[in-house]
Structure 1
């Protein structure tokens, strides 16, 4: 998974308007960039938010 793919996958789980790919989200979990939430959801970890930097600011408190 390249840096660009990680950013896109993080944006997929951070932005409610985008649909997350469960396979890519699971890879983020293995990398420590996302954590499981509820039945089948994910959210970025602190490391995930740091990787998103300015691109994730709009979704940080959403």
Structure 2
């Protein structure tokens, strides 16, 4: 459980750095995502999930 909470915290730190450092580009990115079809967003999320699982498997395996 500790590793999971650490991962969530790190994700929030990275997201916070992006929003604090680059608010304009982040706003534009969110606006462009809002116009994308749900299937494209879903596929992007699944690819990110697979890459994340692979990276964790490499590091922890």
Q: Is the shorter-chain TM-score for this pair beyond 0.5, marking a shared fold? A: no
Give the structure with the higher percent strand.
Answer: 1
Give the structure with the higher percent helix.
Answer: 2
Name which structure has the greater RCO, CA cutoff 8 Å, separation 6+: 1
